[in-house]
A and B are shown apart, each in its own frame.
Chain A
Amino acid sequence: MLGVSKAFPGVRALDCVDFRVQAGEVHALMGENGAGKSTLIKIMTGAVRRDEGEIRIDGRPVEINSPGEARALGVGTVYQEVNLIPTMSVTRNLTLGRQPRRFGLISWRTARSLARERLKRLRIDIDVERPLGSFSLAVQQLVAIARALEDDTRVLVLDEPTASLDADEAELLFQIVRDLKGRGIAIVFITHFLDQVYKIADRISVLRNGRLVGEGATAELPRLKLISLMLGRELEETEERLEALPHGAKGEPILRAEGLGRRRVMAPFDLTLRPGEVVGLAGLLGSGRTEVAKLIFGAIRPDSGRIEVGGARIASHSPGQSLRHGMAFCPEDRKAEGIFAELSVRENIVLGLQTKRGWLSRLSYSEQERLAQEMIEALGIATPDADKPVGQLSGGNQQKVVLARSLVSGPSILILDEPTRGIDVGAHAEIVTLIRKLCAEGLALLVASSELDELIAVSDRIAVLRDRRMIGEIGSGDVTRETIIRTIAGARS
């Protein structure tokens, strides 16, 4: 793929990206969320059309406009969510659309043996008549791989294949990948797990903010360099040097979490927040940043540990409870968890305060207007009026609306998960200024972010996460990119 670009309304997802993979090579594609990985893959596999650039296979330029065409050109894909049909049997999943036929009717006996054949090549032997959903996710993934591997597959794209696998299952997958390598298939491997990349990949390409920031052989790319490529500095149009935050008054912790965790989601951790303090959550994708935020907010119910806010213990944790205790949360995925697309900007914003007040004491229309206007101005939300349905706003502005909602309830503790994702550079500074002002007034802030610079600019302390554990804390004074990266890359736990 040469010089590929793609823009969606409001954001340039890919900017002149080159990507090459050889036969018999495992090429890892890495980058944080929003870096452009999924867009690149969607273009490669025909789910999305590119704006510029070209794609070549064996040196010949090709057009890939649909999943069917990609498939026909020999590109097989295994998506992160497996994307097979869990209610159907393994045989049916493997042969959908290509069932062997006799006299016009499907011959299931042939299909079954075909299925077993294919799976045997991947070293698995299962009951192909059982519904796919009755198998573990690891097996489902292998079935997906088997489906993607037609006899003429040249390129196999694996999108986060190990995201839900444990160590043994991942190892099994790697053996299969090595087998396929030996057969001359080019493998594109998208992942965020550093260790696995070093184990299996021959070459690595790193995307960041839609651009290719690094590409090279694994052997020539040490860990530290890789991490700094992924989390490194973005090209800023405004060279505002952000001064270190003046350390405000602290005092007694306003939030105290002890041994908070949930099986399979996050190992138990401790965390304290003091008024006016900013604590950052740093770590690579999948390390548990969002999970820590949600556990503290109660969006994920913890099954171990305790949490205290303002000295009062919260018994059955839930978002409603958190809101009443003065916490607010701004989620990362605005589309799935943030916005109410049909509701207006005003309604989306005031909901944050309304849920705290309960259903009876409704905010009057004029109060709602006032609050909405305040927020629109403070955050620079680009909308002609507050009654526009939020679904019509650009992504960045939607994110601002969600942020506004979390601010409007006047919280004493604010939890932000990727607050500046999709917000252009100019607005970065505005939001940072706003947040600083609030902290000076006593707001305690917990920020999860993949943007190291952003974290460094605002945090007093940083909790470092890795593979769903909190592995360390970097105190005030030590907060620099080097220390964070080193801690992440540090000794394996």
Chain B
Amino acid sequence: MSERYLPLLATIAVFSALFITGGLLYNNFLSTLVLGDILADNAFVIIAAIGTTFVILSGGIDLSIGSMIGFVGVVMANLDPLGWHPLASGAAMLAFGLGFGALQGLIIDFCEIQPFIVTLAGLFLLRGSCFMINLDSVPIQHPFVAAFAATSIPLPGGGFLASSAIVMLVALAIAIVIAHFTRFGANIYAIGGDRVSAALMGVPMRRTTVAIYALGGFYSALGGVIYALYTSSGYPLAGTGNELTAIASVVLGGTVLTGGVGMVAGTLFGGMILGLIATLINFNGSLNGAWIMISGGVLLFLFIVMQRSLLSSFRLRGVA
């Protein structure tokens, strides 16, 4: 039992260690206020990263995440003056994300083109569409946005769980159910663990692949909706680089990039680690953004080496 949870525990340990370090370095750091802020600020990326976790668990990759976030926001911002309620345009975007992801999955499986390339084209397509619609940031003025931003659940200790964080946690719960309590989820782990064996064991490859990317697209779109509501605007450059953040969150969360091993819950903590590092560095006025990138790289390196040694110990024991 414990072996499977080891990477997750490691991630939580790192997160806690960082959080405590922050508490040692700065006053008032160890509070639910800070925690709530990190959750709220990073909710949108973590949502997208949760969707990416499914894709990576199956041994694939999705580079179109960030562009989807931008695209969703831009479309919503343009539907706003037309009278669309943000929930309606949001729902439409979720459907779009689902369909777009499914299309990517179909191309990947049927044409046998690598996911990296297909989703790269998806990245260009979506980002380009953003620019074609508008070049500048466009506000979303529907009163729902303000109401959404104002909604929050107070936490003990003075902090708040913002609406975006609430949505993220709900999305996470659903993802956990899908990953661990449905046949579909079990199939994802199987495909990622050993593609050939999974096919021999009767996993429906095409259907599952399409569904995986569709799910990833759905979550990316959801992340985009949250971001649009959070910033109350549609910005064509939104989400740039977020695919990288998402992938890093997934890896830091204990999921192996080759697939088959990992947990969706880990992605939450992986994303929080990245958010925490950014917060820590912002608290300290003198350090600049460079430290975020470097520490991200160092953490990735350590996690990857740890994952490798875990995996090879699996294989070694198997050849007893």
A contact set with B: CB distance below 8 Å: 47, 67-68, 71, 79, 82-89, 92, 95-97, 99, 101, 105-106, 108, 129-137, 140, 147
Contacts and interface: CB of A to CB of B under 8 A. Distances in A.
Interface in B290-317: 314-315, 317
A88 B182 contact: no
B318 A134 contact: yes
Nearest to A82: B197
Contact of B186 (A87, A106, A133, A134): A106
Contact of B196 (A71, A83, A95, A130): A83
Contacts of A133: 314-315, 317-318
Contacts of A71: 202
A67 B202 contact: yes
B194 interface: yes
A99 to B, nearest CB: 6
B197 A85 contact: yes
A97 B187 contact: yes
Nearest to A83: B197
A97 B318 contact: no
What 7 A-B pairs come out closest when comparing CB atoms?
A: A85-B193, A136-B320, A87-B193, A133-B314, A87-B260, A105-B181, A83-B197
Contacts of B182: 105-106
B177 to A, nearest CB: 7
B203 to A, nearest CB: 7
B1 A129 contact: yes
A92 B192 CA distance: 14
A108 B203 CA distance: 19
B187 A105 contact: no
B319 interface: yes
Contacts of A83: 194, 196-197, 200-201
B12 interface: no
B193 A88 contact: yes
22 contacts: A82-B197, A83-B197, A84-B197, A84-B201, A85-B190, A86-B314, A88-B189, A88-B190, A96-B186, A96-B187, A97-B186, A99-B183, A99-B186, A129-B1, A130-B3, A133-B317, A134-B3, A134-B318, A135-B320, A136-B318, A137-B319, A137-B320
Contacts of A108: 181
Which of A67, A105, A133 has the most chain B CB within a 10 Å cutoff? A133
Contacts of B187: 96-97
B313 to A, nearest CB: 8
A108 B4 CA distance: 15
B198 interface: yes
Contacts of A67: 200-202
A129 B1 CA distance: 6
B315 A131 contact: no
Contacts of B186: 88, 92, 95-97, 99, 106
B215 interface: no
A94 to B, nearest CB: 10
Given A83-B196, A97-B186, A129-B1, 4 more contacts: A68-B202, A85-B260, A86-B314, A96-B187
Contacts of A92: 186, 189-190
Contacts of A130: 1, 3
Interface string B247-278: 00000000000001100000000000000000
Which of A82, A97, A99, A101 has the most chain B CB within a 10 Å cutoff? A97
Contact of A106 (B1, B183, B194): B183
Nearest to B181: A105
Which of A85, A86, A95, A105 has the most chain B CB within a 10 Å cutoff? A85
Contacts of A99: 183, 186
Nearest to B319: A137
Contact of B4 (A101, A131, A135): A131
B317 A96 contact: no
Nearest to A77: B200
A106 B181 contact: yes
Chain B contact residues: helix, strand, loop or mixed: helix
Contact of A87 (B183, B189, B203): B189
A410 B320 CA distance: 41
A140 to B, nearest CB: 7
Nearest to B259: A87
Contacts, number: 98
A481 B135 CA distance: 84
A95 B181 CA distance: 13
A58 B201 CA distance: 25
Nearest to B201: A96
B311 to A, nearest CB: 8
A140 B318 CA distance: 8
Which of A79, A87, A129 has the most chain B CB within a 10 Å cutoff? A87
A101 B177 CA distance: 13
Contacts of B189: 85, 87-88, 92
A47 B200 CA distance: 8
A83 B193 CA distance: 11
A86 B200 contact: no
Contacts of A101: 183
Contact of B318 (A47, A79, A89, A135): A135
Nearest to A105: B181
Interface in B12-60: none
Contacts of A82: 197
A105 B318 contact: no
Nearest to B320: A136
A87 B187 CA distance: 13
Contacts of B201: 67, 83-85, 96-97, 147
A97 B194 CA distance: 15
A82 B200 CA distance: 11
B197 A97 contact: no
A87 B261 contact: yes
A79 B194 CA distance: 14
Contact of A79 (B200, B202, B260): B200
B190 to A, nearest CB: 5
Contacts of B203: 96-97
A86 B315 contact: yes
Contacts of A140: 318
Contacts of B4: 89, 129, 131
Contact of B314 (A97, A106, A131): A131
A329 B67 CA distance: 52
A134 B317 contact: yes
Contacts of A96: 186-187, 190, 198, 201-203
A80 to B, nearest CB: 12
Contacts of A87: 189, 192-194, 260-261, 314
A131 B194 contact: no
A135 B190 contact: no
Contact of A85 (B180, B198, B315, B320): B198
A89 B3 CA distance: 10
B62 to A, nearest CB: 21
A62 B220 CA distance: 47
A134 B6 CA distance: 14
A25 to B, nearest CB: 26
B183 A86 contact: no
